[in-house]
Amino acid sequence: MASNDIGDWYRGIPQISKYWFTGSVVVPLVARFGLINPTYLILLSDAVIRKFQIWRPITAVFYYPISGPRGFHYLMNLYFLYSYSTRLETGIFDGKPAEYVFMLLFNWLCLVIIGFAADLMLLMDPMILSVLYVWCQLNKDTVVSFWFGTRFKAMYLPWILLAFNMIVGGGGLQELLGIIVGHVYFFLMFKYPQDFGGVRLISTPQFLYKYFPNRRGGVSGFGQAPASTRRPNNDDNNDPGRHHWGRGGQVLGGN
């Protein structure tokens, strides 16, 4: 019965989020069991440029060391990935997989460039936080809960996670990079065209629609940020827009 429940849950994950989630489980486990040397999975600019090991920018998004104290943080990463990638894919990008793939590719490419410049070897943390940041901006008035029952608008969540991890985990750089990249995408795709009346500086390439065609049933036009999902009813149990942030809290970007 439990295996059936897990199977049903896994099959219910949206397509793109499922690929990302699966890669983020398989790659670390393969390295953990010694089937692949982890040094071949991290982002090293010299290895990519001089040795043409072009898989590294991709595996650096999926790989995370899961032994020792990082194991708990890795599990939290999987939760964040599943939760917020699924929310975006079934929310504003519902029925528009090419546009969601473009967002992921844009954020990934920005992080790879930053990774080369800053010698950043792992991209899982900032990649996940960049997606979380986009969701928070598109649902900025949704009330979320954090430790000890504290509640605030979603637009503040990435910054609270940044501050929390700086205090508890001694990190913060990867969270900050994820916020910056997520903001660049959000500003260019939504904020600048809508609020400033500017031209759209980035758009989904047509070839992506060939491989990820639009599906009927999308709930939101691309480029239109959704209205606030916060409801006036303060009953937590009846408010689907209210997110109960994991009990006990989570730390992103800890090293």
DSSP 151: E
Asked whether residue 249 carries a pLDDT value surpassing 70, the answer given is no
Which H or E run contains 152? strand 151-153
**CA distances in angstroms from 218 to 7, 212, 213, 221, 254, listed in the order given:** 25, 14, 12, 8, 36
Number of domains making up the chain: 1
pLDDT digits (tens, 9 = 90+) for 145-196: 776 778 888 888 899 888 877 887 667 888 899 999 999 999 999 988 887 8
79 domain-assigned:
yes
Identity of the amino acid at 186: F
Q: What is the mean pLDDT of the chain?
A: 83
H/E run at residue 111: helix 97-118
> Which DSSP letter does residue 187 get?
I
194 vs 211: CA distance, rounded Å:
28
| pLDDT score for 73 | 81
Domain presence at residue 6: no
C-alpha span between 255 and 253 (Å, rounded): 6
Which range of residues forms the domain containing residue 153?
Answer: 65-227+238-244
Domain annotation covers residue 154: yes
Distance CA 222, CA 204 (A): 10
Conformational region of residue 107, where left means phi above 0, alpha means psi within -120 to 50, and beta covers everything else: alpha
pLDDT above 70: residue 44:
yes
| 59 within domain boundaries | no
**Tens-digit pLDDT profile for residues 53-112:** 999 999 999 999 987 777 888 988 898 899 999 999 999 999 999 999 999 999 999 999
| 132 phi and psi angles, rounded to 5 deg | -60, -40
User: Which comes out higher in pLDDT, residue 217 or 226?
Assistant: 217
Angle, in degrees to the nearest 10, between helices 15-32 and 97-118: 40
pLDDT band at 3 (very low <50, low <70, confident <90, very high): low
Please answer whether residues 112 and 55 qualify as being in contact, where contact means their C-beta atoms are separated by less than 8 angstroms: no
- Nearest partner of 147 among 175, 172, 168, judged by Cα: 168
CA end-to-end span of the chain: 37
For residue 243, the surrounding DSSP H or E stretch is strand 243-244
The DSSP 8-state label assigned to residue 143 in this structure reads E
- Residue 44 inside a domain? The answer is no
Pairing of strands 151-153, 143-145: antiparallel
Asked whether residue 187 is domain-assigned, the answer is yes
Phi, psi angle pair for 131, to nearest 5°: -70, -45
Q: Which residues contact 226 (CB under 8 A, 6 or more apart)?
A: 91, 92, 138, 139, 220
- Domain membership flag for residue 55: no
Question: Does 236 have pLDDT greater than 90?
Answer: no
Is residue 57 domain-resident? no
